[in-house]
Amino acid sequence: MKIVFIYRYFTTTGGVERTLIDKANYLVQQGHSVTIVTFEQGQHPFAYKIDDRIEHIELDCRRFTLFHYPKYKRVFKLWQMNRRFVQRWNAFVKEAKPDIVITTTNSGDFLREILTARDKTNIIVESHTAFIYDMGSDSLIRKLWLKRYMRIVKQGKMIISLTQGDAQFWKEHGAKRVIVLPNPLTMYPETINDVEKDPYRIIFVGRFDKVKRIDLLVSAFALIAEKYPLWHIDVYGGGETDDFEQLIIDNHLVDRIKIHQPTPDIFTEYKKSQMLVLCSSYEGFGLVLIEAMSCGTPCVSFDCPYGPPEIIKDHYNGLLAKNGDIKDLADKMEWLITHPEERHTMGINAHQYAAQFKKDVVMKDWENAYNALIDDNMA
């Protein structure tokens, strides 16, 4: 099978980037021909290692470079870049003749051009974010944007959602062929006791932006920090941290909450922790939840759409708090702090539960979906 992944760039250590690379590496190891096409990578290295057998093509259509030009030139330069992208993408598809092309709902500004390649092919759109929540209230602008966006995405032959909730959204908005497949784990530790746990450690993993609502984590921990002076939080994430650092100072938690840069050895950090806390306003999946669980670490999360309520089984492998309720989040964290035996049992349950997301288990379903699409279009 000739498989093409097309995405903006793989220069950052994000969840979407990691899972796409994981899948590409797995597929080429199974004997498939795999090509990764980017259009904003430039000469930058990949943040994650790719198999040497994977071909990489860069289309060099970096829209962010348009800001180097005066405003009066940007419209013409944008037209030029769009034209260049269409020419290069269509030329690639015509020559490569892929069996499957995989892109995502957050592939960037050229999604329409990707999905309308002149040489018809089996293009799959992966939905990695609950994007409906990005647009705020039910405003006219949001409705018009959604209508246009749906027209674009429905050009694909199949939408693969990571959760049932997201799949239901797409179906309600007219998508015809939608299936649900979870992301695979990068790795599944068969042993979770090889690293000594810090008896008082909480971990948070995620980028620093408003969707992750790290400010609510600080506020929740501030409610219980004085009662449990040995407990602390280690935060791993990329992005701008100034506001977050100031919030830590304002809540007198400088010695209790530490910020760390993303690490390639995040699974060791999960293993060291007593719990992971997720406080997002929404999640396309919540990969950090199954990663932490695979390391025997129970999770506390807001009951937000879509991933957490489908992954966390309350009081089995973690706890769900009312969405956005700081007091309830603090209560759930405190419950795990004060119930060490139950916390330990939840960790064991979490490790067993996460086994269903092993790469060799999940990726067989992804391969079956690709083959089914090819077979249907050949019939």
**Structure tokens that stand for 279 in this block:** 């406080």
What are the residue ranges spanned by the domains of the chain?
Answer: 2-184+359-378, 201-357
Virtual torsion, Cα 321, 323, 326, 328, nearest 10 deg: -30
Q: At the fourth CATH level, which superfamily is domain 201-357?
A: Glycogen Phosphorylase B; (3.40.50.2000)
Virtual torsion, Cα 332, 335, 340, 345, nearest 10 deg: -50
pLDDT for residue 67: 80
pLDDT for residue 379: 55
pLDDT for residue 378: 66
Does residue 139 have a pLDDT over 80? no
Of 366, 368, 375, 291, the residue nearest 26 (C-alpha): 366
| Span of 73-87, 142-156, 213-227, 233-247 with lowest mean pLDDT | 142-156
Tell me if 317 sits within 8 A of 276, measured CB to CB: no
pLDDT for residue 138: 63
Taking residues 50-76, what's their average pLDDT?
89
The residues, ordered by sequence, that sit 6+ positions from 46 with a Cβ below 8 Å of its Cβ are: 10, 11, 21
For residue range 3-17, list pLDDT tens digits in order.
999 999 999 888 889
Question: Are 2-184+359-378 and 201-357 in the same CATH fold?
Answer: yes
| Span of 25-39, 134-148, 231-245 with lowest mean pLDDT | 134-148
pLDDT band at 136 (very low <50, low <70, confident <90, very high): low
Write out the H or E segment, with its range, that includes residue 361. helix 359-378
For residue range 278-323, list pLDDT tens digits in order.
999 988 899 999 999 999 999 999 999 889 999 999 999 999 999 9
For residue range 336-376, list pLDDT tens digits in order.
999 999 999 999 999 999 999 999 999 999 999 999 999 88
HEC-encoded secondary structure of 78-97: HHHHHHHHHHHHHHHHHHHC
pLDDT for residue 151: 82
Please tell me the CATH code under which domain 2-184+359-378 is placed. 3.40.50.2000
Which segments of the chain are extended strands (E)?
2-7, 33-38, 55-58, 100-104, 123-127, 158-161, 178-180, 201-205, 232-236, 257-260, 275-278, 299-302, 318-321
